[in-house]
């Protein structure tokens, strides 16, 4: 397979948007794992990143804001043969959908969760998100954000996630490897992707991240991973934590015989 086998059209994102890099890394990861587009199911919520699903040739599902995880988990339980990848922005994932992330970590259904984290609500024109740093001035916080931001990696580790990673859209090759590892992981795999919004976030730019980002050599034990997740001055990327533990299992509905005529009768 080639990356182009999963893509169609040109997304309507701003020139230089970090979403382009995530799209490239994801298509390269799928190609290198030789997955057939018919076996890949992408979920997205509302947001600039979520709109990217419109330009993928796999199966896709557009959910409500912050709600890409619940249908993704449901689909994976019904048909474990599918490669299921849910995407969301930092607003949806760490605001409206934060409870879904916590429970996905705990339940451990093998779904990949890619969060496009540009530290702002982009599609709605630049309001502060739960990932926006204290003091940041946005259209919704003209005097600066006063609330403490969510630390998604620390939260995922403490909620019991079996795979926790952070990528950077400025390093596509590294992000591609993270996505491949997440797809191959037997359990819920969470990747927070630092992804500048070149139009609305003039602070957390590519240059800002490049000065701070450094790579982890290998996954850490849980305590060390938590400590690294709390780092502020420098920003580690890579797999923070990975463990093998039982995944949620239910008898797949896709293989169960279904008598459709019975349901049709009920609706008559
Ligand atoms: Fe990308 Fe930001 Fe433009 Fe949305 S507003 S397409 S996140 S650069």
- pLDDT surpasses 90 at 249: no
Q: Would you say the CB of residue 120 lies under 6 angstroms from ligand 1?
A: no
Average pLDDT over every residue of 241-251? 88
Domain residue limits, the chain: 3-265
Give the atom of ligand 1 at the shortest distance from the alpha carbon of 199. Answer: 8
Give CATH for domain 3-265. 3.40.50.970
Give the dihedral of Cα atoms 241, 161, 55, 202; nearest 10 deg: -70
Supply the residue whose CA is at minimum distance from atom 6 of ligand 1.
Answer: 13
pLDDT digits (tens, 9 = 90+) for 2-45: 999 999 999 999 999 999 999 999 999 999 999 999 999 999 99
| pLDDT for res 268 | 82
- pLDDT surpasses 80 at 155: yes
Mean pLDDT of the chain, nearest integer: 94
| pLDDT for res 64 | 94
Q: Would you say the CB of residue 162 lies under 6 angstroms from ligand 1?
A: no
Cβ within 8 Å of residue 251, ≥6 positions away = none
| pLDDT for res 120 | 93
Q: Would you say the CB of residue 197 lies under 6 angstroms from ligand 1?
A: yes
């Amino acid at each position: 397979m080639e990356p182009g086998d999963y893509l169609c059209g040109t997304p309507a994102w701003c020139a230089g948007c970090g979403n382009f890099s995530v799209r490239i890394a994801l298509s390269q990861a799928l190609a290198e794992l030789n997955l057939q587009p018919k076996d890949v199911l992408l979920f997205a919520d509302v947001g600039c990143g979520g709109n990217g699903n419109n330009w993928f040739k796999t199966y896709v599902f557009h959910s409500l804001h912050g709600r890409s995880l619940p249908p993704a988990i449901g689909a994976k339980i019904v048909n474990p043969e599918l490669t299921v990848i849910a995407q969301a922005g930092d607003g949806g994932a760490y605001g409206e959908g934060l409870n879904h992330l916590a429970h996905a970590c705990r339940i451990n259904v093998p779904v990949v969760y890619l969060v496009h984290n540009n530290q702002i609500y982009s599609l709605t024109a630049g309001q502060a998100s739960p990932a926006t740093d204290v003091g940041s001035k946005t259209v919704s916080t003209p005097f600066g954000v006063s609330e403490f931001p969510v630390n998604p990696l620390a939260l995922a580790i403490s909620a019991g996630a079996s795979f926790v990673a952070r990528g950077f859209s400025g390093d596509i090759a590294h992000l591609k490897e993270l996505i491949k590892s997440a797809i191959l992981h037997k359990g819920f795999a969470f990747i927070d992707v630092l992804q500048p919004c070149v139009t609305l976030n003039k602070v957390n730019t590519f240059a800002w991240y490049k000065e701070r980002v450094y790579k982890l050599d290998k996954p850490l034990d849980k305590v060390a991973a938590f400590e690294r997740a709390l780092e502020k001055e420098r920003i580690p990327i890579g797999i923070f934590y990975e463990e093998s533990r039982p995944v949620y299992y239910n008898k797949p509905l896709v293989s169960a015989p279904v008598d459709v005529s019975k349901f049709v009768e009920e609706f008559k």
